[in-house]
Chain A
């Protein structure tokens, strides 16, 4: 993506997210408070985040690959099971991955 296109995307996505928040403050409560709307929104959030985990950890240039990132992610799972704070989870994953690459893993 060119720098100009990236700027357009940044501003466009930022305004879209602000508009979404404003909708919540302007529309009558009953329109958004339906259990089904809330359920779908919650599941969409879960699906997007889970897909982003998979794409970020196990794909590279349009290919599915298994490398040091997966073990870094496994370390993050251990940190999450130990109820570590967000920043610690992220640092543990980076550290394990960096050390494995230092040891020669792709």
Chain B
């Protein structure tokens, strides 16, 4: 718990052991285990896409955002240019900027702790923190989820990368289809529920645009072009409701933040 002490994380010794805090910590640990486990698939798919084990670990440590990491290796694996891979990862990470204003007031972190809080600001930590009613429980939820996911995500990334490295031809094990399924599981919760009409429309258009332009554009560009569709729909169709996150976070933790206090800000 050295880091916890250094960072002022409200661990067992700092936070008052209220039932609310205990409940937030339990929630954090279950989210951390579920999310960490699927670091296995990221690690394996990353080496299959052509990254080395150190490069795979650098992504999990530095980028630390599941959707962006899967997108990065997706573009690299398809033979895309470095610029397209960076742009796709950054665009998918843009939603993390929307979480900062939700969690920063709860944490009141300054200096290096603020940088640490920013790095740990992901779908899961935001979802657990904003789901708590009690401020102390929200802080505990953020730090326990953030640190827990970070540790387990990186540990399982390493295991997955070493396994993927040993596996040989990825197609033999259907790992190319596994990558597609991973993206589908990430987007799935955003396509169901009330108000997901615009999201389904955009998803359908994105598929058409990506497939139609694949034969004529360099790898990686069709995916970026699909994002343009979303910007256009988002700007010209202000009357369509924004996609609402599904209530069940267990299916795909990274894809499914539920900022309960802020219904206007969809993830």
Contact = CB atoms under 8 A, between A and B. Distances in A.
Contacts of B253: 86
Contacts of B86: 9, 12-13, 16
Contacts of B231: 40, 43-44
B63 A9 contact: no
Contacts of B82: 1, 5-6, 8-9, 12
Given A13-B86, A53-B180, A25 B58 contact: no
A105 to B, nearest CB: 11
Interface string A48-84: 1111111111110111100011001100110010011
Nearest to B78: A55
Contacts of A48: 71, 88, 91-92, 206, 223, 226-227, 230
B68 A17 contact: yes
Contact of B58 (A10, A62, A68, A94): A10
Given A1-B82, A40-B235, A62-B215, A17 B207 contact: no
Interface stretch (B8-16, B18-26, B130-138, B196-204): B196-204
Contact of B101 (A32, A54, A89, A93): A32
Contacts of A27: 100-101
B55 A46 contact: no
B251 interface: yes
Query: Is the interface on chain A under 10, 10 to 19, 20 to 34, or 35 or more residues?
Result: 35 or more
B124 to A, nearest CB: 12
Contact of A46 (B101, B178, B182, B190): B190
A85 B100 contact: no
Given A56-B78, A80-B188, A90 B41 contact: yes
B72 interface: yes
Interface in A1-30: 1, 3, 5-18, 20-29
A92 B98 CA distance: 33
Nearest to B204: A50
Contacts of B258: none
B100 A17 contact: no
Contacts of B93: 16-17, 20-21
A21 B109 CA distance: 14
Interface of B: 34, 37-38, 40-41, 50-52, 55, 58-59, 61-65, 67-68, 70-72, 74, 76, 78-79, 81-82, 85-86, 88-101, 104-105, 109, 114-115, 117-119, 121, 171-188, 190-191, 198-199, 202-207, 209-211, 214-215, 219, 222-223, 225-227, 229-231, 233-235, 238, 242-243, 248, 250-253, 255, 262, 264-267
